[in-house]
Structure 1
Amino acid sequence: MSAIRRRDTRPELALRRALHRKGLRCFVDRAPLREFPRRRADVVFPQTRIAVFVDGCFWHGCPEHTRPSRANARWWTAKLQGNVARDRETDARLVDAGWWGVRIWEHEPVEEAACGVSQALIKQVVQNGVRTAGKKGTSVFTQGKGANRIRVIVDNKTGNIITVTNG
């Protein structure tokens, strides 16, 4: 198991590239909660309090792809159930601390996963960001500072999102 990568897996790199193409900048392999330094998210947006986990189908019990192990079945079943229980506990602790945990399966299409992450970011900024009046009937929601700042411009009449900028 020492050969299993903890970070920079192919699905994780693909997601990070897709997020970067969308103009979103993030932290990589970081613990969102300081009191749990070993529970590390693959992608973290600290200003909007969003932690993204790219879960492998085998290690995290994907309902689509998980198959029971033939060799040492009892040990593997306990190990994988423990992983799933730890994931649920991490999700609960994130929610208690005011974070959003976004879980993505490694088999999900990258662009769909990136859209899901960006939608979570937009929703979080609109719900918790600072609202100011924009130009010609728009509202600007801002959260964060400097390079981590995210701005969402919304049309007041329709509620549609006009633009999202990072930095």
Structure 2
Amino acid sequence: MTDVLSKKQRSYCMSRIRNKNTNPELLLRKALWSMGLRYRIKNKLPGKPDIIYPSLKVAIFIDGCFWHKCPKHFQLPKTRTSFWENKINGNVERDRKIETLLSSMGWLVLRFWEHEIRDTVQNCTQQIALALTNRGKHT
């Protein structure tokens, strides 16, 4: 099955996909800020976590359901399936390696799916607050 869009149209659509300041990121950051939980977003850590708490060594990743293969929502595209399967599986493998590396550096890594943030941002912020509290007790 061929793409319904021209190469130029598909290229434009793909260029509009953001990797920073996505809606789920902004929603979570706003919720954390309103709770008084200040964070950093700019960092040079492996994998570039979306949010970090440097003093407590907590790194938070917000994973898109498509790009990181959410078990609940991921659907493999019907065209170029082998390309997409390799691409997405590569992302998942890279996520695992980054998480292992950060953990070996003493960081606590938290991951949230975009749908978790969209559907239950309060649960996500509570998990983060609990992790920060627990890390604060052990530093």
Query: What TM-score do you get using the length of structure 1 for normalisation?
Result: 0.71
RMSD over equivalenced CA pairs, Å: 1.0
SS of aligned partner of 1:53:
strand
CA deviation map 1:14-43 (0-9, x unaligned): 100110111111111423x3xx4xx21110
Cα distance in 1 for residues equivalent to 2:17 and 2:53: 25
Gaps of 5+ in 1: 129-167
The count of aligned residue pairs is 123
- Comparing both structures, which one devotes a greater share of its residues to strand? 1
Q: Which residue of 2 aligns with 1:15?
A: 28
SS of aligned partner of 2:59:
strand
CA contact (8 A) 1:44 1:51 kept: yes
- Percent identity of paired positions between Structure 1 and Structure 2: 39
Larger radius of gyration: 1
Query: What TM-score do you get using the length of structure 2 for normalisation?
Result: 0.85
Gaps of 5+ in 2: 1-13
| Misfit runs of 4+, over 2 Å | none
- The one of 68, 73, 88 equivalent to 2:96 is 88
- Comparing both structures, which one devotes a greater share of its residues to helix? 2
The AA in structure 2 aligned to 1:80 is I
Which structure is richer in relative contact order (CA contacts within 8 A, separation 6 or more)?
2
